[in-house]
Amino acid sequence: MPYTTRLPVACGLFGRNCQACHPFLQFKRTQVCVGHSQEKGIILGVYSDPEDVKGASFTQTAMDFDKESGGKMSHALHVAGTIPKLGEYRLLLETHPGFSVVAMAGLGPECVGYNEVEDMDEEKENIRIATSVGARGLQNIGIRSIMTESMGSAESAAEGTALGVWVFQEMKDVKRQIPIPGIGLYDSCDYTGWQIGLQKASAQNLARQLSEIPSNILTPIGFAQSSVDILAKAGVSVEVKVKAWAKIMDLNAFLAAGSGSCEPPVFVELSYYGCEPDTPPLVLIGKGVTFNSGGLCLKTCEEQKDMRGDKSGAAVVVGAMRAASALNLPMNIRGIIPLTENMPGPCAVKPGDVIRSKSGKTIVVEDTDFDGRLMLADAMTYAGIYNPKAIITIGTVAKNTIEGLGGGATAGFSNNESMIDQFRIAGIHTGDRVWRFPLWKHYNCKVLASPVADSGDNHIARAYGDPCAAAAFLREFLPPGVDWVHLDNYGTYHTDGTDIPYLRGPGMTGRPTRTLIEFLAQAACKYDEGAEDVVVEDKKVCPDNNHVTGVGA
């Protein structure tokens, strides 16, 4: 019997007038619609058999193109000798009158879908890879207008293309910047799927950009101002609270985290209303350390070089909130972004200091590098004023997460079986996986073992399950009776450029933005009584000349 599991359908809710030309570079209104350049290119798919390097079959759209070109495309590939494998492409010049260049992108084997071992819909992931490498190949030769076929999933094609052509270059001279091409869907009527994919990719690209901007430019105040500029026009309310307010609210752990910096801390609250205002919201909390030097427990120079990305959790929340508004999700979402900078200084928090958090519990600081735990602790307690349906925290909290997962998945912790499973399902759809780590009482004993305070931020040695201990520490500050998921993206916030083909590297990834959006869409489906389930099988029959979809979305 084939392995099956029940997956909810991801929602595509476009109640608002969503424009086709949605910016995926927020600081410059670079459009993702098709431009007016004379140089036009198109991405077409070709399947390849790993056991037969010369054997191949075109997608239906590619077959139609080949007929229109009089067989020029198939002849050109035959002359080349080998068919592009997954992650490879071939550029064919002057083979079709409508396009100056055709990028034939390898899709890998034709009959793929949900892979139980990989815990991923390989069909969708292969489409993202193929469209991204094809788009980047066209971009590299100066093509300004790129069309792509859906290859079986317009949403995945949009994600791969938009993620693939994006590059952070705001700090470069204009003459050295790579032009960002316009992109469009060629062969499919699935406009809704294409728009959903663009919104997801746009949100992740926004998170990538916010994570990349250097800390001397995007200070806590600068991040807050960018959040206002980005979200206010997207229909999301933004409130910026300053240091004096935080003192009044007894956010002492949050204030301690940034006490060594000359940059004042900022506490940002975001509000999106997609249903009745009195409906309990889902709360997103993103760690926003614009630069983490480690404080008095100073990091090494090697460790500090990418610490502008320690605000990636906050960036993910901003991107997800904008996407939720654009998708008009029927739910209420509150966002909390504590922003600060962790630096050594005369007023910096010291190892051994004891802080009384907003919850009233005392915390002994054993490592000033663990600023995120202090910030998130107060933010979680504060979130209780919303009477939340659930709380999701995102941030680079435990460095040892890298040793356990590398960049393969974001670590997930939860006190609710259903919620963490929904994140796993969301990761199957998006290809950006979440893998559950334990949240056992075993780790609570270590966190609560401090002889001088109620809890310690590093009372368990790093070599002994620090990611789990960090989550156990945060759970101590969770409002009673609230469902909670903690996403530790320390292993996934940055890429060296070799692990994810559709993310240009080295640089910030914006992960797990799309998975969070997918989770929100699935959660919103629960408000819709007509939502259906989809059966996913790891074995399938592949009919002749028919591309079978894996995980339904």
Q: Which residues contact 354 (CB under 8 A, 6 or more apart)?
A: 362, 363, 364, 365, 452, 453
**Rounded Cα gap, residues 156 and 502, in angstroms:** 11
**Rounded Cα gap, residues 53 and 44, in angstroms:** 18
Q: Of the residues 40, 373, 475, 511, which is catalytic?
A: 373
Helix (H, G, I), strand (E, B) or coil at 283: strand
**Rounded Cα gap, residues 270 and 336, in angstroms:** 6
- Give helix 191-212 / helix 154-165 axis angle, nearest 10°: 30
Q: Which residue has the tokens 């004042």?
A: 264
User: Alpha helix (H) ranges present in 213-300?
Assistant: 220-231, 243-248, 252-257
**Rounded Cα gap, residues 342 and 361, in angstroms:** 22
Question: b/e map of 465-476 (b: 16 or more CB within 10 Å)?
Answer: bbbbbbbbbbbb
CA trace torsion 244, 246, 247, 251 (10° rounding): -170
Q: Of the residues 241, 243, 299, 356, which is catalytic?
A: 299
Q: Is 172 designated active site?
A: no
Q: Is 373 designated active site?
A: yes
Q: Which residues contact 232 (CB under 8 A, 6 or more apart)?
A: 238
Query: Environment class of residue 160 by beta-carbon count within 10 Å: exposed (0-12), middle (13-18) or buried (19+)?
Result: buried
Q: Which residue has the tokens 């559709």?
A: 502
Residue 29 is encoded by which pair of tokens? 């209104």
Listing DSSP states for 519-538 in one string gives: HHHHHHHTT-TT--EEEEES
Query: Environment class of residue 9 by beta-carbon count within 10 Å: exposed (0-12), middle (13-18) or buried (19+)?
Result: middle
Are 44 and 58 in contact by the 8 Å Cβ rule? The answer is yes
Catalytic residues: 299, 373
